[in-house]
């Protein structure tokens, strides 16, 4: 069950990477690279920090699913772009799931709740940072005007707190993921924004 949820999140993240490659007019190789990095980058960073073999190198599905997302974007990107509101909902679900799973794995490895929270955020947004850098853009994490990192932070913190209270397993992961998901959806629905420094005008 956990692997199926992982693969679902990987697919959505990979789709976002492949679509950015289309907008940047990259070829199919560039699309595949951005898809793979977006989908797997955060998890690989997490596992390397935890000094374990990355899950992406233990299951063929972790590599094939981003390639499938690349193929879909390659042939049907205009149709996928029209479905972006739905894709963003699934992206929010992947964000919540990855932040919770990352924090849980960090707590299981013996990290403190604070460090587990940070690693949960890394799992959720690390792939997006790599995607933006490779695409020649300022990472969106650095101007979180649509509250992307904040929901991941709160979801990971909730998971670390539950784990510290000896509440483990999929119910705790699901609850933390749902919290991050709902916050991200609320941010999109009500256009919630992170504050700028005092006196700084918002970009047009």
Distance CA 56, CA 141 (A): 23
Predicted pLDDT at 159: 97
Distance CA 190, CA 158 (A): 23
Predicted pLDDT at 1: 59
Structure tokens at 75: 């042939």
Question: Strand, coil or helix: what is 1?
Answer: coil
Predicted pLDDT at 39: 94
Taking CA atoms, 73 is separated from 76, 92, 179, in Å, by 5, 19, 30
Low-confidence ranges of the chain (pLDDT < 70): 1-2, 144-145, 203-204
Predicted pLDDT at 55: 84
Distance CA 150, CA 146 (A): 9
Predicted pLDDT at 200: 85
- Count CA atoms within 13 Å of residue 162 on its CB side: 23
Q: What is the DSSP letter of 148?
A: S
Predicted pLDDT at 184: 93
CB 180 within 8 Å of CB 96: yes
The full 3-state SS of 120-138, as one line of letters, equals HHHHHHHHHHHHHHHCCCC
CA angle 20, 25, 28 (to 5 degrees): 80
């Amino acid at each position: 069950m956990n692997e199926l949820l992982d693969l679902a999140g990987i697919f959505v993240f990979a789709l976002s990477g492949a679509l950015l490659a289309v907008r940047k007019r990259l070829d199919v190789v560039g699309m595949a690279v951005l898809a793979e990095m977006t989908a797997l980058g955060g998890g690989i960073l997490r596992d390397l920090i935890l000094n374990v073999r990355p899950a992406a190198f233990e299951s063929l599905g972790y590599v094939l699913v981003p390639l499938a997302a690349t193929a879909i974007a390659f042939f049907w990107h205009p149709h996928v772009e029209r479905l972006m509101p739905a894709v963003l909902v699934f992206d929010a679900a992947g964000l919540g799931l990855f932040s919770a799973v990352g924090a849980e794995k960090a707590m299981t490895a013996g990290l403190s709740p604070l460090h587990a929270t940070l690693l949960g955020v890394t799992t959720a947004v690390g792939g997006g940072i790599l995607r933006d850098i490779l695409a020649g853009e300022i990472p969106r994490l650095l101007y979180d005007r649509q509250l992307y990192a904040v929901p991941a932070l709160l979801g990971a913190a909730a998971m670390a707190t539950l784990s510290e209270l000896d509440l483990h397993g999929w119910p705790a992961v699901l609850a933390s993921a749902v919290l991050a998901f709902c916050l991200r959806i609320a941010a999109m629905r009500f256009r919630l924004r992170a504050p700028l420094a005092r006196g700084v005008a918002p970009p047009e």
